[in-house]
Amino acid sequence: MNSKVDFYFTKAKTWQQEIEALRTIVLSPDLAEVLKWGCPCYTLEDKNIVLIHTFKEYCALLFFKGSLLKDPKDILVQQTENVQAARQMRFTSLQEINKLKTVIKAYIKEAIAVEKSGQKVEMEKNNGVCYAG
């Protein structure tokens, strides 16, 4: 854990229990916890892997190269049609996160493997948003 990131979890007015649970799941010896774009971001050798963020209707894990993940549970969401690389895993309750803990860890493990393999998302030209890791 990075104490500079703690405020994100303590200041949260909504989704506090949920994002704290996600933090516990995401933290691993492989990933460093840093603050990027005002959110907890988990990196591997300074490469973005996954980010925790909140929205009005849900909290989420954002996988920077999510489009390269296999997604066997069909739970990754493309935020908008313009987002090419990133995919979100959305949550609306602590119970949902606890139920999916093993699945979440498997997706994180795969995201780390994708980064270590050097795979890159093929970006379309002239597209508005890329969110590449």
Number of domains in the chain: 1
**Does 55 map to a domain?**
yes
Please determine, for residue 131, whether its predicted confidence score (pLDDT) is greater than 80.
Answer: no
**Does 133 map to a domain?**
no
**Does 98 map to a domain?**
yes
**Does 20 map to a domain?**
yes
Of 42, 44, 86, the C-alpha closest to 65 is 86
pLDDT of residue 129: 52
pLDDT tens-place string over residues 82-119 = 788 899 999 999 999 999 999 999 999 999 999 998 88
**Does 123 map to a domain?**
no
**Does 23 map to a domain?**
yes
pTM, full prediction: 0.88
**Does 128 map to a domain?**
no
Residues 6+ apart with CB under 8 A from 131: 62, 64, 83, 84, 85, 86
Q: Containing domain of residue 54, as a range?
A: 3-117
pLDDT of residue 128: 52
Longest dimension (CA), the chain: 41
**Does 125 map to a domain?**
no
pLDDT tens-place string over residues 3-37 = 888 888 888 788 999 999 999 999 988 899 999 99
Distance between CA atoms of 91 and 89, rounded to whole angstroms?
A: 7
Reported as half-sphere exposure (CB side, CA atoms, 13 A), residue 64 has a value of 20
Q: Which two tokens stand for residue 65?
A: 């190269």
- What's 51's domain CATH number? 3.90.1150.200
Length of the chain: 133
Strand partners, 44: 47
